[in-house]
Amino acid sequence: MSGYFAGRLLESLVAILGVLTIVFIAARLTGDPAVLLLPISATDADIARMRQELGLDRPLLEQYLAFLADVLRGDFGVSFEHHRPAMQVVLERLPATFELAGVALLIGAAVGIAAGLVAALARGTVLELIAMGVALIGQATPIFWLGIVLILVFAVELQWLPAGGRGGLDHIILPAITLATFTTASIARLLRSSMIEVLKEDYIRTAWAKGLVPRIVYLRHAARNALIPVITMIGILAGELFSGAVVTETIFSWPGVGRVVVQAIETKDFAVVQAGVTVISVIFIGFNLLVDLLYGLVDPRIRIAS
């Protein structure tokens, strides 16, 4: 297990290094930062001085190593917009993103698993048809459209809930539902098909032959196996949710990481973009690592094989 863990950790570190490299190259490709930073009236001499100040006149490899050294110290530069360290700007937004993602994931996993199980066990009934119909629509609905419709109905027309911003419990309901819809639908559909396959397995016939009650056959024997692919999917979805839901955060003016990165792109605040993309990547890769480790808990075959 520890060897397996070490291997996966190393892979994750390599992936993060890859992301940092892409961030570095992308920043060099989007134009000369010195030109972007200085007013249009700046002379060539001003630009040259700026380039020297920023270290842009040195060889690319040297710049790259200097960049990595800065990253290791947690130094992603200063935000031009906020006049504070870029990483600080991004990290301040993390609690908002995690709060929204956490609530959305909880809704998605709970409702998705319940709906998937019901649909699989109520095969061929109207209940399955309804559950899967709703799930299909949920998975196919564009998030921006759903968010706007929810705002129109519940905030503008009915005025039950606020249209945006972060505050009390009422503020999180609409964005969380918007964000959870796709997650819920994906989990429900995957669990249903996975459960239907598992119920055909020989070991399920063994469980029935042992005279076990349906609750144990379905939950202990079937669902545990059927959840294995679902856990992978939850991990991937969680990585996406926790690394900032750009669209949802923007629609609902939710002050999260996704929104701050989008704003930084608009104002060409590159330090914040770099810090934001790095944080998002680390979260995403971290969740994938977590899923692989959880896998071992659910499936003993993986625990041993490693």
Residues that bind other proteins in the complex, under the rule CB under 8 A: 201-203, 205-213, 216, 220-221, 224-225, 228, 298-301, 304
Q: Give CA–CA dist 193/195, Å, rounded.
A: 5
In contact, 270 and 23? CB cutoff 8 Å: no
Nearest to 166 by CA among 104, 102, 95: 95
We find the least distance from the C-beta atom of residue 287 to other proteins, in angstroms, to be 23
Instruction: Tell me whether residue 10 or residue 216 sits nearer to other proteins (CB atom).
Output: 216
Nearest to 265 by CA among 97, 100, 27, 88: 27
We find the least distance from the C-beta atom of residue 122 to other proteins, in angstroms, to be 16
Nearest to 103 by CA among 238, 277, 289, 276: 238
In the block, residue with structure tokens 């997650």: 183
First-to-last alpha carbon distance for the chain, in angstroms, is 6
We find the least distance from the C-beta atom of residue 228 to other proteins, in angstroms, to be 8
Q: Distances from the Cα of 172 to the Cαs of 37, 100, 133, 150, 247, in angstroms? A: 37, 7, 26, 12, 15
Quick one: angle between helices 143-150 and 169-198, nearest 10?
130
Residue 171: both structure tokens together: 């503020």
All residues at 6 or more sequence positions from 293 whose CB lies less than 8 Å from its CB, including other chains: 5, 8
N residues, the chain? 306
Instruction: Tell me whether residue 153 or residue 216 sits nearer to other proteins (CB atom).
Output: 216
Residue 208: both structure tokens together: 């029935």
Instruction: Tell me whether residue 202 or residue 266 sits nearer to other proteins (CB atom).
Output: 202
Instruction: Tell me whether residue 58 or residue 205 sits nearer to other proteins (CB atom).
Output: 205
We find the least distance from the C-beta atom of residue 79 to other proteins, in angstroms, to be 49
We find the least distance from the C-beta atom of residue 115 to other proteins, in angstroms, to be 23
Instruction: Tell me whether residue 45 or residue 304 sits nearer to other proteins (CB atom).
Output: 304
We find the least distance from the C-beta atom of residue 306 to other proteins, in angstroms, to be 13
All residues at 6 or more sequence positions from 196 whose CB lies less than 8 Å from its CB, including other chains: 120, 123
Instruction: Tell me whether residue 286 or residue 296 sits nearer to other proteins (CB atom).
Output: 296
SS3 46: helix
We find the least distance from the C-beta atom of residue 209 to other proteins, in angstroms, to be 4
Instruction: Tell me whether residue 120 or residue 245 sits nearer to other proteins (CB atom).
Output: 120
Q: Distances from the Cα of 165 to the Cαs of 93, 105, 150, 225, 249, in angstroms? A: 13, 20, 15, 41, 9
Instruction: Tell me whether residue 52 or residue 206 sits nearer to other proteins (CB atom).
Output: 206
We find the least distance from the C-beta atom of residue 117 to other proteins, in angstroms, to be 17
